[in-house]
Every structure is written in structure tokens, then in C-alpha cells.
Structure 1
């Protein structure tokens, strides 16, 4: 998640710079204009790559946190698409001026271009503010995710302690059952020995009686 936040910060810096440079295309001429266009093209590609990296990182985060990041990524993609369209429009307006509609010749054209630049600057300011809000929302989501994660870890720790206590009680119960089983076996063996002794005594008494009767009858 820290890596996603770094990518988002880089993206915010790039889009702010792109916005500022798009506003300068209308007044740039010659080599300066060509350099601006090349720089913006490169920065747009870097922005696209950053968003692709963010998309790859989002796939690796837990499902519970993925929805918020995906929503922000969609906003970034829409923002980048608007920047690309504005860049195309800015190049198109300047190209028309170079092809014959020179604003320096017509005062009304000059005023129109200035108004267009003001509008673009206002749009850029609003875009920067929205990007800042996206970053704030992203930071808030990260904090909430950290809090949820900490709570989940605490719950898991409590559950682990409960399981360990239950396991300890189970061991104690098993030990008690073992002792009870040994005691019961001992009592059964003692009972068997007592029964054997009683049977032996009964047999001996029976034999004594039988022999006594036999000898008494024999003597008669």
C-alpha cells in the first residue's frame, strides 16, 4: 500500500506539471513550443505507466481494501484522459493560429485566446484541487485500512489466546480422563481379585463340608 501511495504522489506531481505546461502551449512559439509538446508527450506516457503500475499493485492487496483503490484508479484514468484531450486541443488551437489565424493581427483574437487561457488555468486549478482531494481521500482510506487491519490482528490474537486456553483445558481434561481410567482399571482388577478370593473360599468350604459328610458316612 505504501508503494501505491508513492505512485499516486508521483502521478499528482506529473499531472500538475502537465497541466502547467499545457497552459503554456498557447503562448509558446517555435522551438519552445516543440520542446513543450515533447515534454508533455513524455510525461503523459510516464503518467500512463504509473497508473498501470498502480493497477498491478491493486491486484495484490486484500479484497476488502481493493474497491477503494480501484475507484481512485478509475478517477485517475479519467483525469489522464481529460489531460490528453486538452493537450490535443491546445496543439490544435495553436496550429490553426500558425496556419493563418495570427492572434497578434487581430485584437479580438488576442482577447479570445487570453480568455481561453484564463479558462484553462481555472480548469487546471480545479483539477489540481481534485487531485489533492483524491490524495487526501486515499490517505484517509489507508488510515482506515490500517485501523481495520490492527483490529483484525487484535481479534486474531484474542482468538489465538482463547484457542490456546481451550487447548490447555483439553489437555487437563485428557489427563484427568487418563487418571480416572487408570483408577477404574485398578478398581476392576481389585474387584476381580476379591471375587476370585471369595470363589476360592467358597470352593474350600464346599470341599470341607463334602469331605466331612463323606467321612462321617464312611465311619457309620
Structure 2
């Protein structure tokens, strides 16, 4: 069953694919198609931003074990949207410059510094996106390691529990053996006491017999 977050991801992927295709068309389009493309791109960018906001809200509702992974995905998507927005601004500015030159209406150009700033920002966003992807991979690997550790701990817990049960059974056996041994010792002591009493009685009888023989 597809979750709401995954549904948002699918919608976002479709939107960004449309934005990318339309940005490519914007560079080669004429003045008539250009207005429609710009309107469509800006509309799709707004829809993508709304989807990101919905994803942010949905991240709060997911399980704690998946929350960090989903948050990292949203950060990556946001960086990707910023990159696409910059590409759109560059494509629109370059096309405007070409139209102005061909029509010779006004002499307006984006300065070299502005272009370089846009390129630098695009590269910065791409680097940030790569870092986020690396961070996402690290989180996934860490989660897998954590799951393996939890599995090992569960197995060790079962082993300790079985060992504890065996120790408990051994202790019960020792207690039974100890009670049996104590009973045997008590019987031996009783037998010794009886033997001593018989010996004493025998000595008394012998002494009494000797006394009677001397008395006669």
C-alpha cells in the first residue's frame, strides 16, 4: 500500500520532469510559445513548492525510524527545485537577451557578474544536493547497521535467556541433591548415635556382670 508521502513523491517527480522538459523547450521556443511555457513553468514550480510543504507536514506523521530518511529526501527535493528554478531563470534571461538583440528594441543584458553569480549558485546547490544524497546514503547504511545490531542483540538475549533457564534448572538439581545429601547425613548421624548408645549399654551390662561376679 502506497503511503501519502510516497504519493507526494510521485507527484513531485512528475512535476519536476515536466519543468525540466519545459525549460529545455523554453530555450528553443518562439515569442508566442514562450509566454505559455513561462506560465506553465511558474505554475508547476508553485505546485512543486506546495508538494514540498505537504511533505514537510507528512514527515511529522511517519514512524520515528523513517522520519530522518524522509526529512533527508525532502531536503534533496528542495535543493533540486532550487536548481531547476535557477535553470529556468537562466533560460528565460538568455532567451530574452536573444530576442532583444534580434528586435533591437532595447539594449538590456544580464551582466557577466550576474551570470557568474547564477552559475555559482547553481554549482553550490548541486554540491549541496550531492552532500544531501551522500548523507542520505549514510543514514540508510547506518539504519541497516542498527537493524543488524538489534538483530544480534535479540539473538544474544535469547541465548542469555536459555543459559539462565539452564542455570535455574541446574540450581534446582543442586538443591535436590543437597537435600538428599543432608538426609543421608542425618540418617548416618542417627545410626552413629544409636550405635554409641548400644555400645554404652553393652559396657554398662558388662561392668554390672563383673560387679555381680566379684560380689558373690
Shorter-normalised TM range: 0.5 to 0.7
Structure 1 position 184, deviation (Å): 1.2
Note the 1:123-162 alignment, pairs <5 A.
137-162=131-156
Identify the residue that residue 181 of structure 1 maps to in structure 2.
175
Note the 1:90-129 alignment, pairs <5 A.
107-109=104-106, 111-112=107-108, 115=109
Identify the residue that residue 190 of structure 1 maps to in structure 2.
184
Assess if the C-alpha contact under 8 Å between 1:19 and 1:83 holds in 2. Answer: yes
Assess if the C-alpha contact under 8 Å between 1:65 and 1:145 holds in 2. Answer: yes
2-structure distance, mates of 1:18, 1:124: 19
Unaligned runs of 5+ in 1: 95-102
- Taking only aligned residues, the RMSD between alpha carbons, in angstroms, comes to 5.1
Q: 1:36 to 1:12 in 2, by over 3 A?
A: closer
Unaligned runs of 5+ in 2: none
Query: TM-score w.r.t. structure 2 length?
Result: 0.58
Q: What whole-Å deviation, never above 9, does each CA across 1:13-46 have from its counterpart, x for those lacking one?
A: 25435756877999348xx84x556534542332
Identify the residue that residue 167 of structure 1 maps to in structure 2.
161
Query: TM-score w.r.t. structure 1 length?
Result: 0.57
1:27 maps onto 2:31 in alignment: yes
2-structure distance, mates of 1:163, 1:202: 57
Assess if the C-alpha contact under 8 Å between 2:15 and 2:48 holds in 1. Answer: yes
2-structure distance, mates of 1:123, 1:43: 25
- Structure with larger RCO (C-alpha < 8 A, sep 6+): 1
Q: What whole-Å deviation, never above 9, does each CA across 1:127-175 have from its counterpart, x for those lacking one?
A: 8877776665555444333322222222223223333333333233222
Identify the residue that residue 44 of structure 1 maps to in structure 2.
45
2:140 partner SS: helix
Identify the residue that residue 56 of structure 2 maps to in structure 1.
55
Identify the residue that residue 12 of structure 1 maps to in structure 2.
16
Q: What whole-Å deviation, never above 9, does each CA across 1:105-132 have from its counterpart, x for those lacking one?
A: x7241x53xx45xx99999988887777
Assess if the C-alpha contact under 8 Å between 2:86 and 2:122 holds in 1. Answer: no
Note the 1:200-219 alignment, pairs <5 A.
200-210=194-204
